[in-house]
Structure 1
Amino acid sequence: MPFFPTKRLLAQFTNRAVVYAQHGDPTKVLSVLSYGPLPSPPSNTVNVRFILSPVNPADINVIEGVYPTKPKPDTSLRSSALGSSDQPAYVAGNEGLAEVTEVGNGVSGLEKKDWVIMTKPQLGTWCSSRNVGAHDVLKVPRAPGLSEVHAATMTVNPPTAYNMLQEFVPLKEGDWVMQNGANSAVGQAVIQIAASRGLKTLNFVRPRDDLADLVKQLEALGATKVLTYDALADKSLRKELKTWTGGRDIRLALNCVGGQETTLMTRLLGSDAYLVSYGAMSKQPLSLPTSLFIFKNLTARGFWQSRWYLEKSRDEQRRLMNVLVNLMSQGKLKEPMHEIISISAKESDEEATQKVRDVIAKSYSGRQGKKALLRINVE
């Protein structure tokens, strides 16, 4: 059984992390663990304090053990608190905004109080502080209008949206882009980045009771058309689509759902189009008609932002960040709808554990509604 320090014992700890010792249901395997101060950073590393750390669907998949990339255990957190002194802890979380608190020898370009984001996958961001390699983070340029929420959510969703719009089809003003999962964080970013370029978007979402409110929210971000997946079965949609687009072919579709809805959506594409998949929220296989490949020359590709970071140079990573920072500071890329979950220093580890598990349970059931951001306080 995990050991949870009492409120009296917490006084001797200066850091906390959301950890797990084995893969499984996050509502059962996650625990909040308190631990001591960080040592001074070794050469070519920095110590950082996390400001905000998002809870993303992929984070849940990592904890379950079904995601392609795996975190490395944090051997500094071997503790009887996890049931065995020989059992290392995995710190959850892939994305987050942190502030540099101490700089090791040999590090250039980073100073105390700089904001940084993680570019190496699965570093473990659901914690108060940790030591990271200087080459595993990027400095975030401070700009008027750039919020903590902007910066904390900059690593995954906005760059995914930007790169998918940039790398597959040469799009010009007035062209159309189609996507499902349009109310997701990536979907919202696609709408806004497309609008900033004069592109039009056809957006599909699940039917829901509050559909009118959601349509208004997405239109306020710049969505051109918002429909439910039910519309894909309507034979009149293709005719309406030609009217909306003025006869222009749609040559880019973005997919994070999979299943039959995506098959139907793909049929709306024109010739020489790309279907780019970056998720599979329905957990259903994607089946595409052979005729689309033969007669329309369809290209189906996948996109994974983690791979992009591994393949691109530091200069290319910085250029992308500067583009996103400019969009955010100009108000063209708004904060995602979010809720900040604060873990108070006054809460015991057991109380904090229950709060984190409740957040995950809401995300599992779809009741969270907004992106959850963890703020782990130790003072």
Structure 2
Amino acid sequence: MQTTLWSKCIQIEKFGEPNEVSILCTIPIDPRKWNENAALIRWIASPINLLDLNIIKGKYKKINTNLNKFPCIGGTEGVGLVERVGSNVHHLCVGDLVININYWLNNNQNEIELNQIWTEWDIIPSNSLFSIDKKINLVSAATLGITPPIAWTLLNDFVKLEKGDWIIQNAANSDIGITIIQLAKAFGYFTLNLIEDKQDSTSLRNELYSLGATKIFNEKEFCNKIT
């Protein structure tokens, strides 16, 4: 790659309130990042994750992150299109829909890092990219990087569950809670789901039931059941 590519991005200037320290700007993508194992990605969707906001606010600044060097680009998860691949890249093709799994490959209990996805273009090591089904809608695809793996881990890595077992969870209408409901349904588990009194509504319950929830209680109902 001989020419410099310019990319619009959300750049973080320092720790602080995200709306005060984030700016929209255009930056050059260094062509020297290109090599035979790289891929040129055009990012097309990325959520504003609570994790992103907390990192920008400095809540994790005592942990090693690539936010310790400013300015930097924000964003931990998203979905993009492969526009070009290096000569040594065989698991990706131009036009593939991909997510960046670098957050999971490089992370451990003492390190939180951004994938710097809030940008139009980037050159990325291909081994940190995972291709996904193009039929997945972009909203779902853009949020595959964090919530589903956490939900999967909670169901598989702590207690050996058998088909027909019950799971009790609070915050059932959170992103992770909703994912747990769907995975549990697929695995044959039953779910008892707690929601906050102030968030309780017929439409919310109907949504959770449609996703596979077995039982739903608000906090007051549940307390009355167990006392």
Q: Please tell me the TM-score bracket, short chain as reference.
A: 0.7 to 0.9
Instruction: Quote the residue 2:226 is aligned against.
Output: 238
Instruction: Quote the residue 1:29 is aligned against.
Output: 21
- TM-score with structure 1 setting the length: 0.51
AA aligned to 1:216 is N
Instruction: Quote the residue 2:66 is aligned against.
Output: 71
SS of match in other structure, 2:66: coil
Structure 1 residues 20 and 120: alpha-carbon distance in aligned structure 2, compared to 1, 3 A threshold? same
1:186 positional shift: 0.9
Structure 1: which 5+ runs fail to align?
1-12, 75-87, 240-379
Task: State yes or no: 1:57 paired with 2:39.
Answer: no
1:166 positional shift: 1.6
Q: Which of 133, 138, 149 pairs up with 1:148?
A: 138
Instruction: Quote the residue 1:301 is aligned against.
Output: none
Matched residues in 2 for 1:45 and 1:53: separation?
A: 21
Q: Which of 22, 36, 39 pairs up with 1:43?
A: 36
1:230 positional shift: 2.9
1:146 positional shift: 2.2
Specify the structure having the higher radius of gyration (Cα).
1
AA aligned to 1:70 is T
Matched residues in 2 for 1:69 and 1:114: separation?
A: 32
Instruction: Quote the residue 1:224 is aligned against.
Output: 214
Alignment of 1:153-232 (within 5 A): 153-208=143-198, 211-232=201-222
SS of match in other structure, 1:215: helix
Aligned length: 210
Q: Which of 80, 83, 89 pairs up with 1:107?
A: 89
AA aligned to 2:76 is N
Structure 1 residues 69 and 152: alpha-carbon distance in aligned structure 2, compared to 1, 3 A threshold? farther
1:309-350 per-residue CA deviation (whole Å, 9 max, x = no partner) reads xxxxxxxxxxxxxxxxxxxxxxxxxxxxxxxxxxxxxxxxxx
1:154-205 per-residue CA deviation (whole Å, 9 max, x = no partner) reads 1111121122112222222221001111111111010011111221111111
1:268-296 per-residue CA deviation (whole Å, 9 max, x = no partner) reads xxxxxxxxxxxxxxxxxxxxxxxxxxxxx
Matched residues in 1 for 2:226 and 2:196: separation?
A: 19
Instruction: Quote the residue 2:7 is aligned against.
Output: 15
1:73 touches 1:91 (CA, 8 Å); kept in 2?
no
Higher strand share: 2
Matched residues in 1 for 2:188 and 2:87: separation?
A: 47
Structure 1 residues 46 and 34: alpha-carbon distance in aligned structure 2, compared to 1, 3 A threshold? same
1:207 touches 1:228 (CA, 8 Å); kept in 2?
yes
Task: State yes or no: 1:129 paired with 2:121.
Answer: yes
Percent of aligned pairs sharing the same letter: 30
Matched residues in 2 for 1:33 and 1:73: separation?
A: 20
1:71 touches 1:124 (CA, 8 Å); kept in 2?
no
1:128 positional shift: 0.8
Which is further off, 122-131 or 60-69?
60-69
2:29 touches 2:123 (CA, 8 Å); kept in 1?
no
SS of match in other structure, 1:171: coil
Matched residues in 2 for 1:91 and 1:73: separation?
A: 12
AA aligned to 1:23 is F
2:29 touches 2:122 (CA, 8 Å); kept in 1?
no
AA aligned to 1:21 is E
1:32-67 per-residue CA deviation (whole Å, 9 max, x = no partner) reads 112346637233221100011111111111111113
